[in-house]
A and B are shown apart, each in its own frame.
Chain A
Amino acid sequence: EAGVTQSPTHLIKTRGQQVTLRCSPISGHTSVYWYQQALGLGLQFLLWYDEGEERNRGNFPPRFSGRQFPNYSSELNVNALELEDSALYLCASRIGGHYSNQPQHFGDGTRLSIL
């Protein structure tokens, strides 16, 4: 069974640019989560999508946005990139629905570097 896949693996951008990161969940998983792992800041929750809807959002500015497609894959968009956006962006998927006592499974992440 294929795990969570993320693309690209690495990305270099400059300040002010926009970026799109992609995530394909494990087959059968309808919930997708995005986390940011920045140096010194740890793992922080960004967004949660389930059944195509945004269900929860972490404490990030509106320039961080995303969506989930009918096949449950997801995109994370970041506009007006800033230096502090440099981080590893991790996607996780889970068998969906509220109150689901199932764990999240993570991809290998996209390493975003802002110059």
Chain B
Amino acid sequence: AQSVTQPDIHITVSEGASLELRCNYSYGATPYLFWYVQSPGQGLQLLLKYFSGDTLVQGIKGFEAEFKRSQSSFNLRKPSVHWSDAAEYFCAVDDTGTASKLTFGTGTRLQVTL
């Protein structure tokens, strides 16, 4: 069964610093990969997606992610974090071939200090 691992439960960064959130997946084929963000009391907002092609994908709010097949990773990055980026971030894998569901990681809570 496919799985997603986000090894960092909680990360704190200073405003203006760079950010990298880690995501590793376990899946037999090339997966469809996503990053979502959830602010307190709200639903999930799609940041970016990877289906195929260029392994560096750009998303909204200045985020990007790089798919590395050799490392089974899809890490999320942002060069300069803003206080409004404080939220919970979820990496997810789509069950490719059936498009039947998303499997989520446990999430990384990002705290931004001023």
Chain A positions within 8 Å of B, measured between CB atoms, are 4, 6, 31, 33, 35, 42-43, 45, 48, 55-56, 58, 90, 92, 94, 97-101, 103-109, 111
Contact with A along B17-51 (1 / 0, CB 8 A): 00000000000000010101000011111100101
Contact A45 B43 (CB under 8 A): no
Is A108 a contact of B42 with CB atoms below 8 Å? yes
Residues on the A chain within 8 Å of B45, using CB? 106
Q: Which of B57-114 contact A (CB under 8 A)?
A: 90, 97-107
Q: Could you tell me the distance between the alpha carbons of A56 and B90 in the complex, rounded to whole angstroms?
A: 22
The count of residues in chain B whose C-beta lies closer than 8 Å to any C-beta of chain A is: 24
Are A56 and B43 in touch, CB under 8 angstroms? no
In the complex, the answer to whether B106 meets A98 with C-beta atoms within 8 Å is no
Q: Report whether B42 and A58 are in contact in the complex, using a CB–CB cutoff of 8 Å.
A: no
**Given A42-B107, A101-B32, A103-B49, A56 and B101 touching (CB < 8 A)?**
yes
Is the pair B46, A103 in contact by a Cβ cutoff of 8 Å?
Answer: yes
CB contact between B44 and one of A97, A98, A106 (< 8 Å): that residue: A106
Q: Which residue of B lies closest to A97 (CB)?
A: B99
